[in-house]
Chains A and B, each alone.
Chain A
Amino acid sequence: MPVELLFALEVILNGLMTGVLYSLVALGFVLIFKASGVFNYAQGIMALFAALTLVGFQDGQIPFAHLINAIFGTDLHYFGWKLPAVLATIFALLVMLGFAILVERLILKHLVNQEPIILFMATIGLGYFMEGMGDLMWGSDIKAMDVGLPKGGSFWWEDVTRTWAAEGTEYWGMYVDVLDVWAAVVAVVLVVALSAFSQYTKAGRALRAVADDHQAALSVGISLRTIWVMTWAIAGLVALVAGIMWGSKSGVQFSLSLIALKALPVLLLGGFTSIPGAIVGGLIIGVGEKLFEFYIGPMIGGATENWFAFMLALVFLVFRPQGLFGDKIIERV
């Protein structure tokens, strides 16, 4: 194969991998939007918070140490133990579950039947709150995320692809980040598990019933509040996974919460209500923005990735206003 073609393939492959990472974040949005009609602005901050909690447990950090020290003049920082990654992950999950219960108790319960924009606003308040709270609990320092996932380019894949190039050409193989591959595997597992959960368990069916019609679900005896706790807890799980994947790339720090922005065009493209949409949308956005950055970007000055994804989604929406897999918008007077 000619080198140029191989290179294009490499770009596409990496785009797909990045797309999976976007999908991971988008998934959390979709879950909550589907079940409760809430556009959850705080999803990115939840990912940050979950990752901070995980690393905090792992390193045995004392929560609120900074605050306690400032008030009581003590000098506390660490408990002095380190938890294995698995245990810390379980604890972090428990925290996210507790968080889901609190969100339902303190916020959602009081805002039943409000307009979507009000609920959106409430999640913004929640986002602000958690942003401050996360920093107060765990400090604003950057922390390395290490749960034992491998990172770095894959040698094996490089060697395999090097042989694809035509004889005598200078080609050093295709690059793929092992961490990205892992992320893709995890994403697939997650989606399969979620689909199985919503297809084959009672709770899952209740979840779908609520997503279809709150009122009807209520009338057949499904507890809205339990379902909401459940969706927020699942979204918390997805946030934790996204936090782990992105945190392994950049360290756990405030900027992690900004990945939510990368998930928005994915939502647009895939539709707010479709889990497969989030995956396919992520892949299209990932590949699209990489190809554009490579082949058109240099002509117009580069750094196009931030806006191109949105433009792509926008153009797409003009032809299909509900996204790729979104529920058809039916309007009645």
Chain B
Amino acid sequence: MLYREAGDFKTSYQDDAQTFPIAFDRYRYYFVLFVAFAVIPFMITEYWEKAVLVPFLVFAIAAMGLNILTGYCGQVSLGTGGFMAVGAYAAYKLMTGFPDLNIFFVVLLAGGVTAGVGLVFGLPSLRIKGFYLAVATLAAQFFLVWLVNKWPWLYNYSASGQITAPERSVLGVSVTGPDVAPWASYLFCLVFVVLLAWLMRNLTRGRIGRQWMAIRDMDIAAEIIGVNPMTAKLTAFALSSFYIGVAGALFFAVYLGAGESESFGILQSFIVLFAIIIGGLGSIFGSFIGAAFMILMPVLLKNVLAGYLGWPTSIATHMEFVIVGALIVVFLILEPHGLAALWRLAKEKLRLWPFPY
């Protein structure tokens, strides 16, 4: 009824190629942006900021980054945690080394540093494929975490190796450090999310994105039709690492405010990988919904089981694992291509509803 294309005419190629060709989708998109930018900042509390929204945004960026590499270019990586560590420590060094540099650029530069590191660890992908590559990227994970632990220069020779984000502000509003208003840190992350999502959308439907997808679908065939696998794979690695580095910088500077090498363990890599597979490989929307599933589901379950139902916390936590695990399996059986595919299916159904024939 509501959701249909009838009467929605396109008069230019530009219209036809837009991201949301259906008017209803477009309005929904504007509505989401409106709520995100103009409504939530006025309602956000510290709990929502620290426990729900900021971690969600940070992991959405990381998931987008990994989706570039795994979803679009077909290279499975388990090194996300290590690259996030690079982003975080780069941000810390830049923040303490150049106190006058605006934090916005610090985050971008941290992403740039990570892109460089990602490029190096992307080199083996030219030879190694599939699960072999996935496990090989664990080398990056463990090596980078070891390195940030072992190289005192990175944490300014502090006794314990802990890094703490100093206070920095954007346009006179502080976004890092202990005394940050919830809306400020939320908006700061949101700006990055929107910018990066926009960038990713345009990259993936352009020349470079098509190259990645050709490599993903079959690299030999892609090579034969003239896609250079080296440039395609390495750009995917570099860009993906850039996103993950930005996520790592935000994770440390805005979300947690302090960090140590252990915060970037293998667990983070898994969470981000799970997020994109659950959400949907090769889908920006999937990155968001997957991050929401992996980050928000435990918080939701915890609040329901331990908070609302009043179960003992340990049982609630074990049940959390049981339920999340069962849900993952159920979703995969229902729709192996992720929640985004489920969503797509629902949209198809909706377009025809209520007259499916």
Contact = CB atoms under 8 A, between A and B. Distances in A.
Interface of A: 39, 66-67, 70, 106-107, 110-111, 114-118, 120-122, 124-133, 135-136, 140, 261, 264-265, 267-268, 272, 300-301, 303-304, 306-307, 310-311, 313-314, 317-318, 321-323, 329, 331-333
B132 A67 contact: no
B266 interface: yes
Given A121-B328, A125-B332, A321-B132, A310 B139 contact: yes
Interface string B323-334: 111111100110
Interface residues of B, number: 48
Nearest to A319: B127
B311 interface: yes
A332 B218 CA distance: 9
SS class, residues of chain B in contact with chain A: helix
A111 B332 contact: yes
B321 interface: yes
Contacts, number: 141
B329 A129 contact: yes
A129 B333 contact: no
B146 A303 contact: yes
Interface of B: 76, 124, 127-132, 135-136, 138-139, 141-143, 146, 150, 218, 220-221, 224, 266, 270, 274, 277-278, 281, 311-312, 314-315, 317-329, 332-333, 336-337
A116 to B, nearest CB: 7
A131 B321 contact: yes
Given A117-B281, A135-B318, A333-B224, A313 B326 contact: no
A140 B319 CA distance: 13
Contacts of B274: 121, 124
B247 to A, nearest CB: 21
A318 B124 CA distance: 6
Contact of A128 (B124, B312, B324, B337): B324
16 contacts: A117-B76, A118-B336, A121-B277, A126-B325, A132-B317, A132-B318, A133-B321, A261-B138, A264-B135, A268-B135, A307-B142, A311-B139, A311-B143, A317-B127, A333-B218, A333-B221
Contacts of B129: 321, 329
Contact of B130 (A66, A67, A116, A310): A116
